[in-house]
Every structure is written in structure tokens, then in C-alpha cells.
Amino acid sequence: MQDMTGKDFLVHVTAQALAARLAPLCLCAGLLWAAIPSGWAQDAAAAPAKTPPIDLSRYAGPSGLDLTGRDLSLSPSQDLFKSMNGQWLKTTEIPSDKSSYGTFMELRDLSDQRLQTLITELQDKKHRHTASEAKVARFFETFIDTLTIDRQGLTPLRSQLKAIEGIQSVRDLVQYLGANLYRINSPLEIGISPDEKEPTVNRTIIAQGGLGMPDRDYYLKADDARLANAKAQYLVYLSTLAQLKTDPLHTGSPSPSDMEQAQRVLALESKIAQVHWSRIQNRDTLKRYNPMSLEQLQQSASAWDWALYLQSAHLGKVKRVIVSQPDAIEQIAQLLLKEPLQDWKDYLTLQALNLNASVLPKVFRQAHFEFYGKVLSGAKSPLPRWQEGIQALNHTLGEDIGKLYVARYFSAQDKAHVQSLVADLMQAYKVSIDSLSWMSAATKQRAQEKLATYTIKIGYPDRFRDYSALQIKAANALGNRERSLAFEYARAVAKVDGPVDKTEWHMNAQTVNAYYNPTQNEIVFPAAILQPPFFNAKADDAVNYGGIGAVIGHEISHGFDDQGSQYDGLGKLNNWWTPEDRSAFEKVTLALVNQYDAYEPIPGAHVKGQLTLGENIADLSGLQIAFKAYQAHLGAKPSPVIDGLTGEQRFFLGFAQVWRSKSREQALLRQVTTDPHSPPEFRANGAAINHDAFQEAFKTKPGDGMYKAPQDRIRLW
């Protein structure tokens, strides 16, 4: 799972910032609207009505394991991941519209298909009962109506392009960036988040932004041929956008002036990238916490008119901000003043075309897919338009459609069953803390206090969001996108310096994911992940504990990973450790960094052990705790043998099964460059190899691929 390990949890007021901040917090990153390239959609005429139906019947056996995917020629003692998934890996092709495929993506497709069914019913007015249901249907119908979008051309975007062209001074630039924060990828991003040292109050966060490619490395690592190629192709994409701005019919090749404009924009983004903090630097929670008054902010980055900027952003009354990367913010502010104004106007123009590509004519959608879909992710063809429409809907009216999803697809019985599993995992964690040999009694007590204050959310919110103020119009796809972003922006700004709403959810019920949020000390499990192969009420307990149990343990463990452990039970950034205990903890985590640094998913590209440390801790500890909970569940009874496998063996095979996945090289490169989650193969094997019970269950011995000497096994929680 790729997690939302909430230590970085932030409700951002720009779509790009939302994706950047949530990605490290969740079990499986990649479902956020801004993180999914717009324009990945096939036109209605070219796309099938539906993707092939998702069939979960292969998990219906008595064990809940899909035994058809196993490679029986390979023992788990040699490679747990490939033994459980090897036959599936050999016979499964990644769908042409995907950059990777596996358990998570399959369930995401299932969720999308279910939502499509619900929306199809709403399109028949006899099935509509509320204004919100009519709004959902109208949004979807308008988004998939590519004939109208193509016919409208750039007309819906003209006012925004005209406003950019009207920038004539630095003051105009300041005002434009502030007033349009909600719809641009600003070099100076603003978000609204709980104050990490006063977590009951929402504060204004200022952070670095402004890049069109996934990470600074794509701009700066000229010695990596794959990243250098991506940069070259990005220049091609920018030049295409420059051409399409004046030649929307795409009648020829980009002109010299188009190429020059693209080169200036790429050079500008490269300068932004040079001052960005790296992803590893951004994992330092304490260094990112820099509270300032408005006067201190002005002194810190004096080149920028912060009062005007915040006033333009409807944040003029803010007296206190938290700056995430002070030196980067200062240098970006200087770039905004020193670089030619025309370069910034070109940058904003091309960015407007890029960010709105999904609701612009076909040539824009195709160009966007060629870069973000093919070059960066390796997909061979775009998503069908209906499916991109579902994704856009999830991020516009997500809880409205989520309300319908849970009513049909998530039962009260399943929720109660998962609640009991969570209780088992919480109890196992409590017992495990008391048994730690490396932690003092004083720190154990504080850890227990934190664990006792966890908030647990399962399935869906108690109160769904009200979208009645959001206006959705027919035949106005770009306008609907703009109004939805403005709606979310206004909603976020209204929270500033006010109390944190602890009932709020930051994922939809139909999302296949889970997260831990440190400032609220909560673990959250949306309904859509609570199904096979993660959870199956009819299946064997061992597989449920190895599947959803390890997910639950993973999220609990994020409160005690290298970042989450810096927050106390109230969600406050507060050191509750003795120096000796923290030192012992860091000694163990260094061994985990070294273990994952050695993994090389594609030649020359290693997993970054420091970047992925929080997720690796959560995988390691979550698996340990899930097994302890399974043992406690069994009590004195021996585990039954099912499908010729002991309960202990089924537990680990169930864990490996949920990581079933394969990726294209471009997607793997992007993952190891930007993602705090290790590739699935190493999440399965990397956690299991350190587990004493795994070694015993499969009778590993020296020389086996999964053998690790007892004294070398890494144990934390």
C-alpha cells in the first residue's frame, strides 16, 4: 500500500500542492486528481463503453488466496513476492492505458466501474431523488462530452489567458499569483493545515512549488540518461503548447518563436528546481516548521510583497504563517522579481494550457498524454474518457458520489468486522510496546499514552460534505473545473486561524487507500479498500490478518515511524522520547535505510532508503503487529491447515498477495525518484525477511534468498 503517512498532512488550497502533500501520507499514492495527468482520456468514439469487468471470484476459495497466481517452482524461502505472484507476473500484461497494474489498480478500476453504474442510473432522471444527484450526473455528462469541448476551442480559457497577458508590472504579477492560487501551480504555494505545535488551530502554510515535472531531479540530473530524456521531451511538450496557443488546429510544427518560448519556460522552471529542497530534506519535520509573523516573513523574504500577495489571496487578515522551506522561498521570491516579466507570463500561459488540458480540445489532450502518459509513466494509450470523468468527479463531488457508493457496496457487517480487527491490532500494539527491549519505561509510558488516544475512522464519514454552494453547469466543462477549484479554495481559506474539524475525512469512501494523520492522531480506512484481497469476511482469518491486518498495522505504525513518532497523542510536534531511546531507535532505522538502499528495481536506479524510511518502518512494524494479533486471535489453538498451507504460511502469502503488481520502467523510474513508498516487490520481501515467524513458517536456511540471520533481523515495534 502506498500510504498517506500523515506526518505531512496538509489541506492545500491548490490542486498541485494537495497531491504533493498527501502522497507521503497514504497507503497507496496516486489517486489524487492533481497527481493524475489530465488529458489521459480517450475520446468517446474511440473508447470502449467499459473496461473489462473486474472479477474477484478467484479470492473466493476457503483460504482467500488466489492460488492460480503462484509460481510453484519457486519457494517463498527464496522469494516470497515472486513465489506468491510469479505465475500472475508471467501471464499478466499491463493494460495499455496503465503504467502499472496489480491489486491496487484492479480495485481502483472496480471502484470506477461501480461509480459508472451509479452515474448511469442517475442519468436516467427516474433514479434521481436529490439536487446533489442531479449535479453529479450533470458534471459527469459535461466532462465526457468531448464534442462540445472540442467545438468550444480555447474560448472558455480566454479570460484567464487575457488576464495573464494583462500583467504589466511586478505588482500585477504579485496580485495575479495571489488571486489565482486555486488554479495554478504557483512557485509560492499556500496551504491551510493544523499548526503542528498547536494542532487544534488551522494555520497558513507557505511552501515551494511551481514545477511542471514530478521532481527537481528531472531538471537537474543531467547525468541520468532517462531523466535527461524526460527533460528533452518536456521541452517538446512545452513547444507544442506554445504552438497550440495560436494554432489550436495544430496545422504544422512549432515555430522558432514557439521553441524559444518553451526554452525560456523550461529555463525558468530549472531555476526554480535548483532552489527547491529535495524530497529527503522535506522529510525533516522540525526543519519544515518555521512559524513567522507577517513582519518576520517580510524580513525573511524581503524581495516579495507578502502583504499584497496574501491580500490578493483573501488572506489579508492572517497574522501568523508557517514557512516550510525558508531559504527556498526567499530565493523563489527573488526569481519572481529578477527574471524577465515576459518569461513569467509565458510560464503562466503554458501552465494554464497544461493544467486545463483535460477540458480543452483534443489536440491539447493528446499532447498532454504524449508527455505525462507515455514519457513519464510509460502508458501506451490514454484512459477511456468515462474513467477520467470518474476521477475528476471524485475530486469535485467526491463525498456526494461516495454517499451512494457506501449505500450500495459497503455493509454494516463488514464495518463491524473491520472494527474488531482494528481493536485486535491496537491491543497487539499495546502489548508489543511493553515488550520492547530497546525502550525505557518512561518512553514506553508516553508511547502507550499516544496509542490510547488514536482516533479510528472506518468506511465513510459520519457527516458527508455539503456541496450545495458549488455551481455545476451543462456544456461548461472548464468552467466546472474552475468553479470546483474555487469552491475548495474558499472552503480552505474559511478555516484559517479557526478550529480544526476532527470529523473531516481527507479521502473519499470510494478510494482504495488508507492513511494516518499525525496532527489528529487518526487512522482512516475508506470503504473501497475493505474488500478482497485485503479483507474478505468469508475467508480464512490468517489471510485477513496478513492482508487488511497488515494495512491496519501499517497505519498504526506511522504514528511511531521516524516522522510520526515526533508527534504526541494530542497531535502536537513534541519530543516525548528520552535521548537514549531516540538514539537506539535511529540506530535500528539506519539499518533499514541501508537494507532498502541496496534494492535496485531498474539498472542504475536504487530505492532511496532515507526517502522511503517512514513507509518501510510502517511495513516492517505493521507486519510484525498483524502477526502478533493473529497469534492472539488463535489463542492456544493451532492454526488450521487449508489448501495444504499452515495458518502462518497463509498469513505471509496473504501479505505478499496484496502487493501483487508490475510496472513499466518509466513508472518505476518515477517511483524511485519521487515516491516515499518502495516498489511493491521490496515492500513484500523487505518486511518479511526481517520476521522471525516468516523464517520459521517456510524453514529458511543459510543460502536461501529470503534467509537473514537472527542477529541481523531488524525489529522495531
Domains of the chain plus CATH, in order, are 52-94+419-453+534-659+679-717 (3.40.390.10)
Cα gap 54→107, rounded to integer Å: 8
In this structure, are residues 3 and 618 in contact, taking their beta carbons and an 8 Å threshold? Answer: yes
Q: How far apart are CA 713 and CA 623, in angstroms?
A: 14
Report residue 559 as a C-alpha cell.
504514528
- Answer whether residue 44 shows pLDDT above 80: no
pLDDT number for residue 12: 34
Between these two residues, 324 and 23, which has the higher pLDDT value?
Answer: 324
The answer to whether 459 and 405 are in contact (CB under 8 A) is no
Render pLDDT for 496-510 as a digit per residue (tens, 0 to 9).
Answer: 999 999 999 999 999
Q: What is the pLDDT of residues 470-481, one digit of tens each?
A: 999 999 999 999
**DSSP type of residue 574:** -
Q: How many residues does the chain have?
A: 717
CB distance 49 to 217 below 8 Å = no
* pLDDT score for 22: 36
Cell 530524456 identifies what position? 229
Quote the CA–CA distance of 70 and 81 in Å, as a whole number: 9
How many angstroms separate the CA atoms of 674 and 670, rounded? Answer: 6
Given this model, what pLDDT does residue 254 score?
92
Contact yes or no for 632/653 (Cβ under 8 A): no
Residue type, 642: I
- Give every CB contact of residue 643 below 8 A, 6+ residues apart in sequence: 61, 62, 63, 65, 67, 650
H or E element in which residue 207 lies = strand 198-208
Is the pLDDT reported for residue 426 higher than 60? Answer: yes
Is the per-residue pLDDT at 350 higher than 90? yes
pLDDT band, residue 9 (cuts 50/70/90): very low
What's the CA gap between 54 and 707, in Å, rounded?
36
The secondary element (H helix, E strand) that includes residue 186 is none
Number of H helices, E strands in the chain: 29, 14
pLDDT tens-digit map of 284-342: 999 999 999 999 999 999 989 999 999 999 999 999 999 999 999 999 999 999 999 99
For range 59-85, the mean pLDDT: 97
pLDDT in tens, 545-556: 999 999 999 999
Here the cell at position 18 is 494537495
Distances from the Cα of 331 to the Cαs of 33, 61, 303, 339, 375, in angstroms? 29, 59, 9, 12, 30
How much of the chain, in percent, has pLDDT values that exceed 90?
90
pLDDT tens sequence across 566-585: 999 999 999 999 999 999 99
Across 370-390, average pLDDT = 98
Which residues are CB-contacts of 511 (< 8 A; sequence separation ≥ 6)? 31, 111, 394, 526, 528, 529
Q: For residue range 397-421, what is the model confidence (pLDDT) as tens digits?
A: 999 999 999 999 999 999 999 999 9
Judged against a pLDDT cut of 70, whether residue 392 lies above it is answered with: yes
Report the pLDDT value the prediction gives residue 98, as an integer from 0 to 100. Answer: 97
Q: Which residues contact 568 (CB under 8 A, 6 or more apart)?
A: 446, 449, 450, 574, 576
Please state, in angstroms and as integers, the Cα–Cα distance from residue 207 to each residue in 243, 254, 499, 584, following that order.
Answer: 32, 34, 22, 32
pTM, to two decimals: 0.94
* Burial per residue of 375-403, b for 16 or more beta-carbon CB atoms within 10 angstroms, e otherwise: bbbbbebbbbbbbbbbbbbbbbbbbbbbb
Lowest-confidence pick of 14-18, 192-196, 416-420, 706-710: 14-18
Rounded CA-CA distance 626/296 in Å is: 47
Q: Calculate what percentage of the chain has a pLDDT beyond 70.
A: 93
Q: How many CB atoms neighbour CB 580 within 10 A?
A: 12
Contacts of 683 (CB under 8 A, 6+ apart): 615, 616, 619, 659, 677
Q: Please name which of 176, 177, 196 lies closest in space to residue 188, comparing C-alpha atoms.
A: 177
In eight-state DSSP terms, residue 11 is E
- CB of 53 closer than 8 Å to CB of 400: no
Separation of alpha carbons 218 and 372, rounded Å: 13
Contact present, 18 and 569 (Cβ < 8 Å): no
Find all residues with CB under 8 Å of 14, minimum gap 6, and list them. 34, 181, 182, 183, 184, 185, 186, 189, 190, 191, 209, 489
- Alpha-carbon distance 546 to 553, whole Å? 10
Residue-wise pLDDT for 181-237, tens only, equals 999 999 999 999 999 999 999 999 999 999 999 999 999 999 999 999 999 999 999
Considering only residues 686 and 22, tell me which one the structure prediction assigns the higher pLDDT.
Answer: 686
| Whole-angstrom distance, CA of residue 659 vs CA of residue 88 | 12
The answer to whether 93 and 685 have CB atoms below 8 angstroms apart is no
State which H helix or E strand residue 33 sits in: none
**Distance between CA atoms of residues 634 and 332, nearest Å:** 58
| Residues near 340 by beta carbon (within 8 Å), at least 6 away in sequence | none
Tens of pLDDT, residues 223-260 = 999 999 999 999 999 999 999 998 877 778 899 999 99
Residue position matching grid coordinates 487544534: 200
Return the pLDDT at 641: 97
Average pLDDT in the chain = 93
Band the pLDDT of 26: cuts 50, 70, 90: low
Degrees (nearest 5) of the Cα angle 527, 533, 535? 50
Residue range 23-37: mean pLDDT, rounded: 38
Going by pLDDT thresholds of 50, 70 and 90, the confidence category of residue 489 is very high
